[in-house]
Amino acid sequence: MFRRVYSVKWICNRDLLAPAEREWKYMYWFTSDEHYGHAKVIGFNNRPYDSVEDMNESLIVNHNEVVSKDDITIHAGDFCWENKKKEVYRKYISRLKGNHVLLIGSHDHWLPKSAHYIWRKRIEGNLIIVCHYAMRTWECSHYNSWQLYGHSHGRLILQSKQYDVGVDNNNYYPVSFERICEIMETKPDNPNRIIRGK
């Protein structure tokens, strides 16, 4: 079955269309640090798997349990421990539901040089910046924009409008946009926030 892997440009241009002009309705999901095929990550992060095959299958099942075929998943880096694009597609991407935006992390040597480090999108009025790495400041952070990151495997908890979407921090599932909204409601404003009109 064919699975689409879109560039950031395609996704952004597509979302400029009014809802009635879109071909489908979809949800956004966010994840990071799956590390498909990386046996050592099990020990490094105390993952509850007996083998790399067990981990790979569990992550695929978890993804497909919540993501629908028309949804868009933003993968914020460290997708897998492979070097050949065809193998990554055959072993993993072709088995995952939905459409995918893959950002460069620390181990994504299989991605083309044209791949992006940062994805930005305004969803329901909220500007979201996604990068593999947590940032001190980011685009429009002074206007309370949100930053989603990975890399830290649940070990870095930041007290502002930031959240670690990595699988180790989210029970090995992708995180929905709706869940991100709930999380951000509980977080304090960004420390560099400027209140307009003051």
Q: Domain containing 138 — which CATH number? A: 3.60.21.10
- Asked whether residue 106 is domain-assigned, the answer is yes
Does 65 map to a domain?
A: yes
In a domain, 2, yes or no: no
pLDDT tens string 17-75: 334 344 446 899 999 999 999 999 999 999 999 999 999 999 999 999 999 999 999 99
Residue 157: which pLDDT band, with cuts at 50, 70 and 90?
confident
Asked if the structure places residue 18 within a domain, the reply is: yes
Where are the strands (E) in 86-170, listed by range? 99-102, 118-123, 126-131, 146-149, 162-164
pLDDT of residue 198: 60
Stretch 146-173: mean pLDDT, rounded? 94
Domain-embedded: residue 174: yes
- pTM across the whole model: 0.86
* Residue 191 belongs to some domain of the structure: no
Residues 42 and 71: their CA atoms lie apart, in Å, by 28
The answer as to whether 25 is a domain residue is yes
* Domain span including residue 137: 8-186
Per residue in 113-123, pLDDT (tens digit) is: 899 999 999 99
Instruction: Say if 38 falls within a structural domain.
Output: yes
Token digits for 178?
A: 């709706």
What does the block give as tokens for 5?
């892997």
Tell me, what's the pLDDT at 83? Answer: 84
Total number of domains constituting the chain: 1
Phi and psi for 39 in degrees, rounded to 5? Answer: -60, -40
SS3 of residue 110 by DSSP = coil
Look at residue 14 in the predicted model and tell me its pLDDT: 38
